[in-house]
Amino acid sequence: MRLDKISHKRLHITILMLVNVVMLILVVVSGRFLSDQSSLQIGRVSIPGHSLTGILQSLLFVGCILVTLISYEIGTRLSVVLILFVCVLDIFGILQSHSLAPLPGLFNALLNLVLILIISKQFRVVEQESLTDYVTGLYNMRGLLETLDQRIGTHVPFTLLYFRIDNFRMINDNLGHDMGTKLLREISVQLLEMTRGYGTVCKTGGSEFALVLDSDFNIDNFRREMKERFGGKVALDDSEYPVYCYPRVYAGTVRYPEDALDSATLIKYADMALYHAMKAHNNALISFDEEMASEIIKQNEMESVVKECLAGDYFYLMYQPQYDMHDKKLRGFETLLRTLLPDGRSVSPADFIPVAEKTNLIIQIDTYVLHRALTEMVDYIKDYDQEVILSVNVSANSIGRDDFADKVINVINETGFPASRLELEITEYSFAESENMTIQNIEKLRKLGVKIALDDFGTGYTSLSQLVKLPINLLKIDKSLVDDIETSEMSRDFVNAVIYMGHLMECDVISEGVESQMQVDLLKEQNCDYVQGFVWDRPLYYEAAVAMLKRGKDD
Ligand code: C2E
Ligand code: MG
Ligand code: MG
């Protein structure tokens, strides 16, 4: 698309340049060979020779202005040369003919020259502004793309480095917007110092920078300096008592042409390397490698499987029972998505959900699961003589959208599913991604009686002070915390503390991934309310889950 635009522009410039050159030749020819007395007869109209030269000159000037408007860089240069040529011709004409007849043409040419220089300057200013980030004065995303295109055009090797401040939002929220801006400026200054003229520094997002570095730039030095400069506190002003903050920064690099050949792929790979750095450790700088390349291939495969499943409806749902820890009464079911492609292939949600979450496919999946689960289960859940709950997993991308609550309400109305029997399982990331919208959606749904469970608790980074504010009904302790409680006293204490805290928040607590009776006994001792795990039931096929509900009703 971009290339199409560029080649169209080039074609237009070339055509206009040719027209202008032809026009100049005509101006020369008409000035040289048409005398004042001669004229050109077109039908009944007779054009005097000097008027024809004037008309051709004017057309040439219009052509010059047009080519400058299309491309001020090449256009200005060409136009200046052509107009100066006309000026020389006019001066030559004056000297040769000892007449001032060409003088108006000369003034006209000079006027157009000035006009073209003004247009060109204005374009340069606007162009510069559209490429610049207004906070730091660095190139913005567009500037980066132009820089990459230019570099790729010269085929000279370079490195693209993506750099991100992970906790920028927190710094901005805690210290204020002004301090956030100061931090961005400070970091841009430091990055410019660190690159020492070996490349271009751009600010491509809210807290993200991209550096296009010459191939002989020493990345290891950059890594070391990153630690030195950002490993501790960073002063936000140079007053006697400066304000400090502790930014968490990460970087990922990719090389042209070894790793990728076009700007879109380079950016994608640099982002991927950055993502790996963010998972590694504070101040990590990680380079794109073979393993990441094969991860991308796997991700692409996953993406096409998800698309295939959505198009062909190769999804089905399983339902894993949840039980009361103490009397083993059925609490409800968690809905779990499964795939079965016509060729017998099946992929795990643990593999395809994270990929779908990187695209908008997850929105379609979540809507699909919600609709299908509520439709499949409505009659049996309603008919069951005790309150059983149907849990549906919802990803952060879905619950952070402004239409999410309305979508759920529509599905509830369409299927007639009792709102108070529906539970949505979300993770801490939902609050990290788009906190306000998520809370608004949750509040709207809770008013109808919908329950909210916090899934995978213990794997995220929510602080206790943030956690107590979250509007949830159920805390789901992640399997990774439960796994070691039989052998590790620390794990036991930790799970104990989580259960205690959940109760303080007036939430019920469920442990997931419970596999042994000993784990059940330990969790019971610690006052955990519910259990979900292979120890009592694996995820059940729809028919088995329905049979369980029917059996329960008949008991
Ligand atoms: P999750 O929501 O934490 O689901 C629990 C996972 O633990 C399920 O894996 C379940 O089969 C597994 N599990 C339950 N008990 C045990 C146990 O005792 N031992 C072991 N080893 N595993 C146990 P599953 O079905 O593979 O799902 C993996 C993840 O995929 C889910 O984690 C959830 O994050 C996501 N997922 C599954 N279905 C959906 C869905 O419909 N929508 C969305 N957005 N995500 C889904
Ligand atoms: Mg879940
Ligand atoms: Mg979970």
Closest approach atom of ligand 1 to CA 532: 15
Position 218 confidence tier, pLDDT thresholds 50, 70, 90: very high
Where does a domain end: 288, 321, 341?
A: 288
User: Rounded to whole angstroms, how far apart are CA atoms 337 and 317?
Assistant: 5
Predicted local confidence at residue 462, as pLDDT: 67
Nearest ligand to the CA of 514 is 1
Position 15 confidence tier, pLDDT thresholds 50, 70, 90: confident
Instruction: For 450-467, write each residue's pLDDT tens digit.
Output: 999 999 988 776 666 677
Which of 7-11, 113-117, 409-413 is predicted most confidently? 409-413
Assess whether 111 and 145 both reside in one domain. no
Nearest CA to ligand 1 atom 12: 513
Indicate the residue type of 2.
R
Considering only CA atoms, give the Rg of the chain.
35
Predicted local confidence at residue 554, as pLDDT: 56
Mean pLDDT of 483-495: 94
Assess whether 345 and 277 both reside in one domain. no
Q: Distance from the CA of 310 to the center of ligand 3, in angstroms?
A: 23
Q: Distance from the CA of 474 to the center of ligand 2, in angstroms?
A: 12
Assess whether 251 and 379 both reside in one domain. no
Instruction: For 268-298, write each residue's pLDDT tens digit.
Output: 999 999 999 998 888 899 999 989 989 888 8
Closest approach atom of ligand 1 to CA 369: 41
Check: CB of residue 311 under 8 Å from CB of residue 533.
no
**Token output for 209:** 């920078």
- Residue 293 counted as domain residue: no
Contacts of 310 (CB under 8 A, 6+ apart): 361, 364, 365, 368
Q: Distance from the CA of 2 to the center of ligand 2, in angstroms?
A: 42
**Token output for 300:** 């692409």
Nearest ligand to the CA of 350 is 1
Assess whether 306 and 394 both reside in one domain. yes
User: Rounded to whole angstroms, how far apart are CA atoms 19 and 24?
Assistant: 9
Predicted local confidence at residue 127, as pLDDT: 84
- Residue 146 counted as domain residue: yes
Q: Distance from the CA of 334 to the center of ligand 2, in angstroms?
A: 7
**Which CATH number goes with the domain that contains 351?**
3.20.20.450
Give the range among 47-51, 283-287, 302-306, 357-361 with minimum mean pLDDT: 47-51
158-165 and 39-42 beta bridge pairing? unpaired
| Mean pLDDT over the full length of the chain | 90
Closest approach atom of ligand 1 to CA 373: 41
As for how many domains the chain has, the answer is 3
User: Rounded to whole angstroms, how far apart are CA atoms 423 and 359?
Assistant: 25
Q: Distance from the CA of 331 to the center of ligand 3, in angstroms?
A: 16
Assess whether 284 and 303 both reside in one domain. no
- Residue 550 counted as domain residue: yes
142: left (phi over 0), alpha (psi -120 to 50) or beta: alpha
The model carries a pTM of: 0.68
Nearest CA to ligand 1 atom 37: 336
Q: Within 10 A of 346 (CB to CB), how many other CB atoms are there?
A: 10
530-532 and 158-165 beta bridge pairing? unpaired
Position 23 confidence tier, pLDDT thresholds 50, 70, 90: confident
Assess whether 278 and 358 both reside in one domain. no
Check: CB of residue 219 under 8 Å from CB of residue 154.
no
Instruction: For 226-265, write each residue's pLDDT tens digit.
Output: 999 998 888 888 778 888 888 999 999 999 999 999 999 9
Assess whether 122 and 198 both reside in one domain. no
**Which CATH number goes with the domain that contains 161?**
3.30.70.270
Cβ < 6 A, ligand 1 pocket:
320, 335-337, 348-350, 353, 366, 369, 393-395, 425, 455-456, 479, 512-515, 532-534, 539
Q: Distance from the CA of 517 to the center of ligand 2, in angstroms?
A: 22
Where does a domain end: 92, 112, 131?
A: 131
Position 53 confidence tier, pLDDT thresholds 50, 70, 90: confident
Q: Which three-class secondary structure string do you get for 398-429?
A: HHCCCCHHHHHHHHHHHHCCCHHHEEEEECCH
| pLDDT of residue 130 exceeding 70 | yes
Nearest CA to ligand 1 atom 8: 336
Cis peptide upstream of residue 321 (ω within 30 degrees of 0): no
Where does a domain end: 88, 110, 131?
A: 131
Assess whether 406 and 549 both reside in one domain. yes
- Residue 136 counted as domain residue: no
195 or 432, greater pLDDT: 195
Check: CB of residue 473 under 8 Å from CB of residue 438.
no
The counts of H helices and E strands in the chain are: 20, 18
Nearest CA to ligand 1 atom 3: 456
* Residues of the chain above pLDDT 90, percent: 61
| pLDDT of residue 391 exceeding 70 | yes
| pLDDT of residue 433 exceeding 80 | no
Assess whether 472 and 510 both reside in one domain. yes
Assess whether 348 and 425 both reside in one domain. yes
Assess whether 516 and 371 both reside in one domain. yes
Instruction: For 347-382, write each residue's pLDDT tens digit.
Output: 999 999 999 998 889 999 999 999 999 999 999 999
Q: Distance from the CA of 407 to the center of ligand 3, in angstroms?
A: 23
- Residue 478 counted as domain residue: yes
- From residue 444, give the alpha-carbon distance in Å to each of 81, 435, 438: 68, 14, 10
508-512 and 530-532 beta bridge pairing? parallel
Structural domain span for residue 217? 141-288
Assess whether 369 and 283 both reside in one domain. no
Instruction: For 132-147, write each residue's pLDDT tens digit.
Output: 998 999 999 999 999 9
Cβ < 5 A residues, ion ligand 2: 393, 425, 455
Predicted local confidence at residue 552, as pLDDT: 75
Predicted local confidence at residue 1, as pLDDT: 43
| pLDDT of residue 5 exceeding 70 | no
Nearest ligand to the CA of 337 is 1
